Amino acid sequence: MKIDCLMGTYGRHSLACEALACFLQQSAISNATLLIYNQHPVRLRIDHPKVRVVNEAAPPGSLRHIRKRMHDLADPSADLIHWWDDDDLYLPWHLRDCLDHIGTNEAWKPTSSWISMANVTYARQSNMFEGSWVFRADYLRAASLDTHPTYTDHPVIWQTLDAGKLRTTELQGRASYIYRWATGTQHLSGYAASGSEEMQRRHVELWRRHSNDVAADGRLVPADMTPRWKQYLDGIKKQVTPAEWELNRQGVQRGMPMPVHVAARPASRWTLRSSK
């Protein structure tokens, strides 16, 4: 199955480079593509066969309409669509989890995932974070925008839950999605948990005013994820079994090399080694 990952971004260049690196390190990348939907006036660019950028500096709209625009831009041949949030982290086996567990269902997500505070502390919790969901493409494109009007994301989330069409799998210490908070940037979800269409649009507009991390040339370079994966391994070590920790260490280590045609940022001075 082909899976198209959709990443919306606005004025968060450093975060976008980390999310890009997460995608390029996926073990199932042969089945995947990434769309970067940039709404900031400063255009983004990258030359990579698996990644395409759409620069479209549209007026602020509610998140449901932004998601819908990305759905319209998605690869029409894709079987699955994944929302690839620019401020979260995806471990190198995340897309493989999606492909292995969705089965014949309309949507899938891990039952629990990691929550990281300031990239340092980690806790695994059950949640409904939208960035961990994968959908069948035809199901997602057919979803109405007109239900659950006060919900601040695409209503397909609640439509799926109401219809009992979500499949979840508890991956325990092998959970592959990391929701991040307190990274030095503002979360759109921190503005309001609900609100009218006009209020949601205003929140997007206000959030954009605080999103000013841009690169003058707009070039996207995959970040060196070595420091992030070290923080992850340190943060989870006492919360997983030794066997899970070793599998996770091996998983991020295998994900480190970048494709030869992508210029990676300078490597850190340390490598991922098993702790005694």
- Which of 213, 194, 208 is CA-nearest to residue 59? 208
The answer on pLDDT for 72 being more than 60 is yes
**Residue the block writes with tokens 């190198």:** 92
Model pLDDT, residue 188: 79
What single-letter amino acid sits at 230? K
pLDDT of 57 strictly over 60: yes
Of the ranges 77-81, 107-111, 140-144, 258-262, which one carries the lowest mean pLDDT score?
258-262
What mean pLDDT, rounded, does the chain reach? 91
CA dihedral 195, 200, 202, 206 (to 10 degrees): 110
Domains, the chain, with CATH or none:
3-255 (3.90.550.10)
pLDDT at 242 over 90: yes
Q: What distance, in Å, lies between the first and last C-alpha atoms of the chain?
A: 40
42 Cβ contact partners less than 8 Å away, ≥ 6 residues apart: 11, 214, 215, 216, 218
**Closest listed residue to residue 199, CA positions, set 155, 150, 157, 148:** 150
pLDDT over 80 at 223, yes or no: yes
Reported pTM: 0.91
Pairwise CA distance, residues 226 & 224, whole Å: 6
The Cα 160–Cα 140 span in angstroms is 10
pLDDT greater than 60 at residue 263:
no
- Is residue 224's pLDDT more than 90? yes
